Chains A and B, each alone.
Chain A
Amino acid sequence: MPTLTLIQAVNDGLKVSMRQDESVLVFGEDVGPKGGVFLATEGLTAEFGKARCFDTPLSEDGIIGTAIGMAANGLRPVCEIQFQDFIFPAFDQIVSEAAKLRYRSGGQYTAPMVIRTPYGGGIRGGLYHSQSGEAYFAHTAGLKVVIPSTAYDAKGLLLAAIEDPDPVLFMEPKALYRHEKGEVPEGHYTVDLSTLRTVREGDNVTVFCYGSMVPVVEKAAAKAAEQGIQCEVVDLRTLLPLDEQGVLDAARKTGRCVIVHEAPRFCGYGAEISAMIAENIIEYMEAPVRRVTGFDTPFPNTLEHHYLPDERRVLDAIEEVARY
C-alpha cells in the first residue's frame, strides 16, 4: 500500500472520484494549472481537462452559488475555498441556500456537493490564514461538517462526502497537510460519515478531538500513560451529524472527559460535547468536563505557538480530570 501525506491522499481521492464518475468536477481559485495553493488539485486539469477542473474568478459567493446550481442539475461539484478564512463571502450561499434547499423544496431539489477548505493555524498565517470556523457551520441544519486527521481518513471521508446526497463542508487541517503520512489503499474506498475513530484505548480519561489537534492529543496521551493515566482518545471526524452514541459510550467508559479544539472556546464545538454529556450521562461522571481550546481572541501571528493548544496544555487537563 502506498504511503501518502494527507494532501496527497486528498489529491488521490479527487482523482479516484473523477475517474469513476463523470459528473464530478473540481473548481475554485487557482485549482487549475497551478494545482491549488497547497497542491491538492495538482494534475487534475491535465488528466480531466478544463471543463472538469478549472479556475474561477475571485468570488467565493460565485463559487458556492454556481456549485449549488450544478448540484441541483445533476453534477457533483467539489469546490475549493482557498482558505477557510475566505469562506465568509459565501456564508449566505452555504447557510441560506445549500443547507436549506432540501428542506424548503420538500426534497424536490437538493445540493449534493462538497466544499473543501484548509483550516487552522500552525503556518504563521495570522488573523486570516489560520482560523478554525467549524462552529459557525456545525450550527447549520442541513449541512454536514467533516474534518479528517489522517491520510487514510482524508481519502475515505472525501469519497464518502462526494457520494453523500447532502452538502458537505470538508475542512482540511492544513498544519497536517505534509506532516501527516500514512498508508492509503489505491482505488476506491470510503469511510462512513458520522462515525468516530478510536485513536487509542484507555480506561482513565477520555479525550475528544479532531483535525489538527489529534496528533497533539496523541502525544499528550503517550505522556499521560508514562504516569499511569490511560487515555481513550477519540477522533470525532464528522462534527455534524455527530456519532452521538459513540461519544456517550466513550465518555461513560472513563467518566472523565477532556475536549480539545484549536478554535476559540466560547460557543465552540466542545461546548456541544460537554452539554451532551451533562444532559445524558452526568450520573456517570467522576470529574467536571474540561476543555482545552484556542483563546477567545482573533488568531495572532508571531505568538501563534501560545495560542494553539499544545501537548502541555492538553496534559495539564488530562492530569486535572484524572486526579479529581
Chain B
Amino acid sequence: MQIETAPEPFSVIGANGDVGGHKVTLSDEELIQCYRTMLTVRAFDDVCMKLQRSGRIGFSVPNKGVEACQVGAASALRQSDFFFPSYRDFGMALYHGVHPVEMMHNMFGNNLDAARGRQMPVHFSFTDPIKYFSISSPIGTHLPQAVGAAYAHQMRGEDNVTLASFGDGGTSSLGFHSALNFAGVWKSPVIFLCQNNGWAISCPSDEQTASDGFAIKGAAYGVPGVTVDGNDVLAMHQAVSEAADRARRGEGPTLIEAVTYRMGGHSTSDDPSKYVPKETLEEWAEKDPVKRFREFLTVRGMWTEELESEWSAAAYEQVNSGAKEAESTEGPRLETIFSDVYAELPQHLRRQGEAAFDLAKRKGDADAGGGAFPL
C-alpha cells in the first residue's frame, strides 16, 4: 500500500495579495469584519500581556500569529453552530460579537465572569451570541464532547455543525482519537480544526507525531483530512466552509490541519527564547497573517493607512475600556465558592459555607459582608 503524503497546504492569498483564480465568497462587509476582528485579537493580546506584566491579571496566552485560523474558521460558521474552542481562540468569540469586556471579566476573574472567577484567565464560556463551550484545561477532553453535541443536532434534525478546535499537541490526547473514531462511525456533523502552530509548549510538532502532518490522521478513522495555510484567512474560510457544507449535507466530519506558527510564548509563564529557533521565528514573521490579509485588501482597494489607524484605534479603545470596566467590577462573592457545584446546595456545603463566612467575618475580611451565608 502506498501511504499518501500531505500535499502543500491549501492557500488562497498569494504573493502581494493576489488570489489568482480563487473566488472570494465573503462580502466586502465580511472581509472587513474579518480584518477588524484580527486587529481586535491583536489588541486584546497586547493589552493582556501588559496587564499581566504589570501584575493586574495573573495569566494570559499569546495569540499572535494564529489570528487567521481563528477568524477564518469563525467566519465560515453561523451563530447557531456550536463552538468547542481551545484556550487560544480569542478570535472565534470576537468575530461573532462577543464583546471584549465579556472576555476581560474572565481575565480579571470578577463577579461578572460567567465562571465567577473560578477559572483561570483565558478559560472563557459564552452562550450568547454564540454557543462557545466552557473551556477546560485538560487537553483534548472537549473533542468527544463536541461529537456528542453534534449527535444532538443530528437527532433533532437540525443542520447545525460543531467546531472542535485544538492544537498539534491535542492530537496526542486520548480524546482526539476517541472523537475521530466516534465521529467517523456516526458521520457526525463536526469540523475538527487542528491548529498546528509548531509547538505544544516546548515540544516541537515533529516530536509530537511521526506522521506526515496532522491531516493524515483522519484517514485511519475514515475522516477526510485537508491541510490548509493557517496564516491565510481566506483559505481558512474556504476550507471550513466546505467542511461545514459537507457536514450540513450529512456527509460527516472533516479534519482540517491549519499550518501556522505561535509567534509568542506558550503563555505568560513561558520563556520561548530557551527553545524556539530565532531563524524560524523570523521566517514566520514574514508570513504574518494580518500583513498577508492587508495586502489582499489593499489590492482590492479596501485598505488605506487612514482606515488602519481608525480601525486599530477603535480596537484598542474597545479592549482598553473593557479592561478598565472589568478591573473596576467587584470580585466574585464569597458564596460563589459554594454555588454551582450542584443545582441544589447540599447540606454539607451549606455547613462549610456558613463556616467560611463566620471565619471571614472574624478575620474582618470584607468578603464576609454581613457574615451570614446568603445561599
The count of chain A contact residues (Cβ–Cβ below 8 Å) is 39
Q: Cβ of A58 and Cβ of B117 under 8 Å apart?
A: no
Q: In the complex, what residue of chain A is closest to B138 when comparing beta carbons? A: A86
* Most B CB within 10 A of own CB, among A59, A296, A307: A59
Question: A175 to nearest B CB, angstroms?
Answer: 15
Q: Does A268 contact B (CB under 8 A)?
A: no
Q: A58-B169, A295-B356 are in contact. Are A37 and B336 (CB under 8 A)?
A: no
Q: Give A45-98 interface residues, CB cut-off 8 Å to B.
A: 55-59, 61-62, 85-86, 88-89
- Per DSSP, chain B at the interface is loop
The count of chain B contact residues (Cβ–Cβ below 8 Å) is 47
Q: Cβ of A129 and Cβ of B139 under 8 Å apart?
A: no
Interface string of B133-147 (1 = CB under 8 A from A): 000111110000000
Q: Cβ of A33 and Cβ of B202 under 8 Å apart?
A: yes
Q: Does B47 contact A (CB under 8 A)?
A: no
Q: Give A288-308 interface residues, CB cut-off 8 Å to B.
A: 295-298, 300-303, 306-307
A295 to B373, CA, bound (A): 15
Q: Cβ of B334 and Cβ of A306 under 8 Å apart?
A: yes
Residues in chain B near residue A306, CB distance under 8 A = 334, 337, 356, 360, 367
Q: Cβ of A57 and Cβ of B208 under 8 Å apart?
A: yes
Q: Cβ of A58 and Cβ of B139 under 8 Å apart?
A: yes
A59 to B140, CA, bound (A): 10
A281 to B352, CA, bound (A): 28
Q: Does B110 contact A (CB under 8 A)?
A: yes
User: B118-126, B228-236, B239-247, B305-313: which lies at the A interface?
Assistant: B118-126
Q: Does B269 contact A (CB under 8 A)?
A: yes
Q: Give B179-210 interface residues, CB cut-off 8 Å to A.
A: 200-203, 207-209
Q: Cβ of A58 and Cβ of B203 under 8 Å apart?
A: yes
A57 to B337, CA, bound (A): 35
Q: Give A13-66 interface residues, CB cut-off 8 Å to B.
A: 29-30, 32-35, 37, 55-59, 61-62
Residues in chain A near residue B275, CB distance under 8 A = 33-34
Q: A30-B202, A57-B208 are in contact. Are A89 and B174 (CB under 8 A)?
A: yes
Q: Cβ of B341 and Cβ of A58 under 8 Å apart?
A: no
A184 to B120, CA, bound (A): 35
Residues in chain B near residue A297, CB distance under 8 A = 337-338, 341, 349, 352
Residues in chain B near residue A62, CB distance under 8 A = 172
Q: Cβ of A85 and Cβ of B349 under 8 Å apart?
A: no
Residues in chain B near residue A189, CB distance under 8 A = none
Q: Cβ of B120 and Cβ of A301 under 8 Å apart?
A: yes
Residues in chain A near residue B123, CB distance under 8 A = 126
Question: A95 to nearest B CB, angstroms?
Answer: 15
Q: Does A103 contact B (CB under 8 A)?
A: no
Q: Cβ of A303 and Cβ of B201 under 8 Å apart?
A: no
In the complex, which of the residues B120, B203, B332 contacts A30, with contact meaning CB atoms closer than 8 Å?
Answer: B203
A127 to B331, CA, bound (A): 17
Question: B195 to nearest A CB, angstroms?
Answer: 14
Residues in chain A near residue B334, CB distance under 8 A = 303, 306
Q: Cβ of A61 and Cβ of B137 under 8 Å apart?
A: no
A30 to B59, CA, bound (A): 19
A262 to B350, CA, bound (A): 19
Q: Cβ of B341 and Cβ of A59 under 8 Å apart?
A: no
Q: Cβ of B269 and Cβ of A37 under 8 Å apart?
A: yes
Q: Cβ of B332 and Cβ of A126 under 8 Å apart?
A: no
Residues in chain B near residue A37, CB distance under 8 A = 201, 269-270
A89 to B270, CA, bound (A): 24
Residues in chain A near residue B331, CB distance under 8 A = 302-303
Q: Cβ of A301 and Cβ of B118 under 8 Å apart?
A: yes
Q: With A55-B203, A316-B359 given, name 9 new contacts (CB 8 A).
A: A30-B203, A34-B201, A85-B138, A129-B120, A296-B349, A300-B332, A301-B118, A302-B110, A307-B337
Q: Which 3 A-B pairs have the closest CB atoms?
A: A302-B117, A128-B137, A34-B202
